[in-house]
Amino acid sequence: METVIQIHQLSKSFKGVETVSKVNMNVKKGEIYGFLGPNGAGKTTIMKMILNLVKPTSGEIKILNQPISTTSYQYLSKIGSIIEYPEFYERLTAKENLELHCDYIGVYEKGAVEEALDIVGLKGVEHKKIHEFSLGMKQRLGIARAIVTKPEILILDEPINGLDPIGIKDIRELLILLKEEHGITILISSHIVSEVESIADTIGILHHGELLKEVRMEDIRKENMEYLEIKIDDVKKTIHVLENKLGIRKYEIVNQHCIRIFEHDISQSQINKELILNNIAVNGIEKQQQHLEGYFLNLINGGNQFA
């Protein structure tokens, strides 16, 4: 598949402090790439570098196979974006803002503005001035602005900040629609893991400016995501049984009464039988799915130990 955004060994320092260090990432055509990371991990900085608002200290960015230099600007016509909090010209109305945007990009398609406003559910307020808008409405308008010119790439930095649950659902559906029907490549960042999990095809996990991992969601789902959670009364004794009698090595002690087993080749009943035979009271045994959140937290915490 064609790679739309290629980033190679990208670093950025502000006043000697490295906020992004040696990031490599590849965003493929027509996928939703979720950017995960705690606040201050460097998500926005990378997005700004893609948009040439921030100049990299070192490294290379290629958009649609074109390398970006400090003075590149033509490629920007193919990108729609929201960076941080969406800013508008407050004295103009919503519609005027969008029209101005189209004018600047050089897209003069009839009805595009109305269509975009309709998609984000802002019909009826288009003649209001921006300073009368709430945060959620601005966020919606920001998305309308990003999609109004029908770009090939969408770069959305925390697009669901300040939205109500219905708004979040609408945006989620909209992004999937844009991907599936228009083949738009979307790079989306968020610190709300579940949100990214539900729509992304690939995720990049960023921490302290480093890209800890770039994985496809499918692989995460496959790899180690299922586990058995057993509730017992005696952890020490259980471990002894697990290790010596069953040969299980991949497990995690959650607390004094709970253990998680990540190995799949031993069946639930086998474990259950062995524990009972060894006089361990089993209060519960259950198959569970680890969510991306757990995976994410594990990675970030693992990262902390090395830091």
Partner 1 sequence: MLKLLRLEWKKNRMASYFKGLIICIVGILVAVVLMAVGSGDEQMFQDYTDFMSLTNILIRIVFIIFSSVILSRLVIDEYKNKTVQLLFTYPLKRKKVMLAKLSLVFGFCFFSIIIATLTINIAVYFLNPMMSLFETPVKIQGMIATIPSTFINTFMMAGVSLIPLYFGMRKKSTASTITSAVLIGFLINATVGDTSASLFQFIIVPIIMCLLGLMIGYLSYYKVDKVDLT
**Interacting residue ranges for partner 1, rule: CB under 8 A:** 14, 48, 51-55, 70-71, 73-77, 79, 81, 83-85, 87-92, 100-101, 103-106
Question: Sheet harboring 17-28: ordered strands across?
Answer: 17-28, 3-14, 58-63, 66-67
Q: Left (φ > 0), alpha (ψ -120 to 50) or beta: where does 247 sit? A: left
Please, what is the minimum distance in Å from the beta carbon of residue 100 to partner 1?
6
Residue with smaller CB distance to partner 1, 43 or 101: 101
The CB-of-288 to partner 1 minimum distance in angstroms stands at 43
Residue found under tokens 């083949």:
183
Closer by beta carbon to partner 1, 113 or else 200: 113
In this structure, what are the phi and psi dihedrals at residue 131, rounded to the nearest 5 degrees? -70, -10
CB of 39 to partner 1, least distance (A): 15
Closest distance to partner 1 from the beta carbon of 293 (Å): 30
In whole angstroms, give the CA distance from residue 180 to residue 182.
Answer: 6
Quickly count: other Cβ atoms within 10 Å of residue 16's Cβ: 5
Torsion of CA 88, 89, 92, 98, to 10 degrees: -50
Q: Which is nearer to partner 1, 188 or 241 (CB)?
A: 188
117: closest CA among 80, 145, 150?
Answer: 145
Tell me the H-state helices in 51-164. 94-105, 112-119, 135-147
- Specify burial of residue 111 (Cβ count, 10 A radius: 0-12, 13-18, 19+): exposed
Question: With contact defined as beta carbons under 8 Å apart, do 137 and 86 qualify?
Answer: no
Nearer to partner 1, 83 or 292 (CB): 83
CB of 174 to partner 1, least distance (A): 20
Between 12 and 207, CB nearer to partner 1: 12
Closest approach, Cβ 92 to partner 1, in A, equals 7
Which of 158, 195 has the CB closer to partner 1? 158
